A and B are shown apart, each in its own frame.
Chain A
Amino acid sequence: MKNNNLNKPVSLLINPFNLIAGTKSLLIGFSIIVITSVFAYYFNTHFNGVLDIKYGDTDLKYYNFLLYGIINVVTISVLLYFSGLIVSKSSIRFIDVIGTQALARYPLFIAPFLNAGAVMEKFASFMMGKYVSNTEVIEILWFQWVLIGLFLTATIILIIWMIVLMYNAYCVSSNVRGNRAVISFIIALLLAEAVSIFLNIYFNYNIINLLN
């Protein structure tokens, strides 16, 4: 039953959960979330939803960025846990679901560095000015457009990588496969995205109001 493929670098990048799960992966995953939130705070990177990466300067404090991470992990874990209870024939432990989902978010560690130099933030301001608020449109130089293109592509790759990890985490922690796994995962993910955006707005704004 020992599978040497599990130790291959590609396998570890997209599915480390055959080797690590439960409390161990929760501790590693949560540590990465904490470190990521520090960089996210300094580089104005917002994970205000399970699948969201946004760049922009705000009045939010450090704990708001940490709260993003906690809300996202708890939301997706709870929904995937219930989804697993419905579709899986195995007995599922919540610690495995939350542990693997916490670790599955490790690609986000790279995201704040894509805004080093605030290029992505500038792009966000440009888009807001041109398409949302109809205010003054800031100028972006040609090399900045190149960087924006590269960083946007990298951001999309990070999100796809994270979704692959989240799906594999779900399959391992809940013992589901095939169409049943794909459909239940998509439903839980979409619900989690909506719920996490709501909770992130609700809690982060409430914290700001309480402190002010």
Chain B
Amino acid sequence: MEQKSKLPLSCPSCTDRLKVQTLLCENCETNVSGSFPLPLLTSLTEEEQAFIINFVKYSGSIKEMSKHLNLSYPSVRNILDDIIEKIKTCEENEKQ
């Protein structure tokens, strides 16, 4: 079974956030070089990303999400609020 490699997000040396330098087209093997920032969503953990995907799937309904996750309404709302807070912090950090 092929192991899916994990996208590194921070520098192993100084822990600063990494940027994409090279992109590859697997069809024609063209390399594109530059300095591209990683999408904001990659700042979140895999669990948080899965939460956001499910949240969109359930039309942004906290009630439906609480049924899906088998959690109470305020617990789901708290997870969502924490993610919102984290995104805001990441946005502020990127601006600086």
Contact = CB atoms under 8 A, between A and B. Distances in A.
Nearest to A174: B74
B78 interface: yes
A175 B72 contact: no
Contacts, number: 50
A22 B62 CA distance: 13
A173 B78 CA distance: 9
B78 A90 contact: yes
Contacts of B47: 1
Contacts of B85: 89
Contacts of A1: 47, 50-51, 69, 71, 79
A2 B74 contact: no
A184 interface: no
Given A1-B50, A172-B78, A175-B77, A22 B69 contact: no
A71 to B, nearest CB: 24
A21 B78 contact: no
A16 B95 CA distance: 40
Contacts of A93: 73-74
A22 B73 contact: yes
A21 B72 CA distance: 6
A198 B85 CA distance: 40
Interface string A1-36: 110001000000000011111100100000000000
Q: How large is the interface on B (under 10, 10 to 19, 20 to 34, 35 or more residues)?
A: 10 to 19
A22 B72 contact: yes
A18 B75 CA distance: 5
* Residue from A2, A90, A91 having most chain B Cβ neighbours under 10 A: A90
A89 B80 CA distance: 12
Contacts of A90: 77-78, 81
A172 B78 CA distance: 8
Contacts of B75: 17-19, 21, 172
Contacts of B51: 1
A96 interface: yes
Contacts of A173: 74
Contacts of A96: 72-74
Candidate in A1, A22, A91, A172 with the most chain B CB atoms within 10 angstroms:
A1
14 contacts: A1-B47, A1-B50, A6-B71, A17-B72, A17-B74, A18-B71, A19-B72, A22-B73, A90-B81, A96-B72, A96-B74, A172-B75, A175-B77, A175-B78
